[in-house]
Structure 1
Amino acid sequence: MTVSVESVALDARTLEQRLTREGRPLSFADVLEGWRTDPAVRRATVAAIAEAPYEALFWETAPWVRGRLDAPYRQVVVNAPPLARVAPDPEAFSAHFGAEDVVAFDNLGGDARLVVPCPRAGDRTYTHLAAAVRGAPAAQIDGLLARVGTELEGRLEDRDVVWVSTSGLGVYWVHVRLDDRPKYYSHAPYRAA
């Protein structure tokens, strides 16, 4: 079945997006399962990000609350012009890169799990998420979201809330954060939830 994206401009720099199937909004549980097992959900998520009218962006999901995964899933893409002007920094995560297309590891503080694509195209492709979804191998980006789903499922087993996002202002290599708090969220309603 086809998965579609509905986008609404919240302001000049923020689009809120929902995924639907046959006109029915997907829940957080649907999206979690879809990221893990359904290429159509992963393709729709990637398309939502890739088609955003921003050269560079932050991707932030509403908080994943273990007891409320039946709620309609929402995400925002937020225009991030500073990311469009930076050079990639593959050295930041190079110790973790290997034969896999995507790796996952805890951040230095231990309060976030990072899901990171390994270099498979030119380094500029991995500077931020918009560049990656538009330029990295499609199979790698599909694998990135599948790994996010697997890591998120594991994280929700022992946490009540997880925030999933990308920022990239600290390390110039795309990495999806599965965080214990909304450390780098720019969209205030999700940060305050």
Structure 2
Amino acid sequence: MNDRVLYDYWRSSASYRVRIALAIKGLDYTAKPVDLRSGAQSGVGFTMLNPQGLVPLLIDGDVAINQSLAIIEWLEETHPEPSLLPGDATARARIRAAALTIVADVHPINNLRVLKYLKSELGQEQEAIDTWGRHWIELGLSALEEIAEGSPGPFLFGAQVTLADVCLVPQMYNARRLQADVARFPKLGNIDKRLNGLKAFQQARPERQPGADQ
């Protein structure tokens, strides 16, 4: 039995990032779905493992790590090839900055628990909530489009898939799901299409995960 276990939710973009990274690194794992819609992440069983009550959570032997970027950076340090943070210190900082544009600036305010709060506690209509989501997604993608325009291609930072690409694909998936105007970002669209043609990205697709809506 594989002692590497990933607690995730099929449509969680944070979990999606980790699945991509694991696939790129060629690391097998056992998936344990946590249904966010039913509130399973708040159950005693899961919060004993991760007091924050969020996915993803990676357990590898006696190591347990939460937060998607922390997991991916740990994978990078423990399984360095192929590298998701190539180049010198400056190049790696730029890759991290692009990834954080999504992970720190866009994703948190479009997280399911935030959107639920807007509706249940603040009484916002679904149309307003969707407008909120699209605004912040499109703002973040605008910055990344500029990076893409300066890339020699075929990916965000050249010929090698990086942490930034791992974060981009799940965010583009979310953008389309919320009907954001992704046509405004043709360079990102092309990069996303190339990335989704790679085996590791295909394996990590939400619809291919246990518990996914059919």
Please indicate the TM-score interval, normalised by the length of the shorter structure.
under 0.3
TM-score (norm 1): 0.28
Greater gyration radius: 2
TM-score (norm 2): 0.26
Q: Which has the higher strand share?
A: 1
Q: Which has the higher helix share?
A: 2
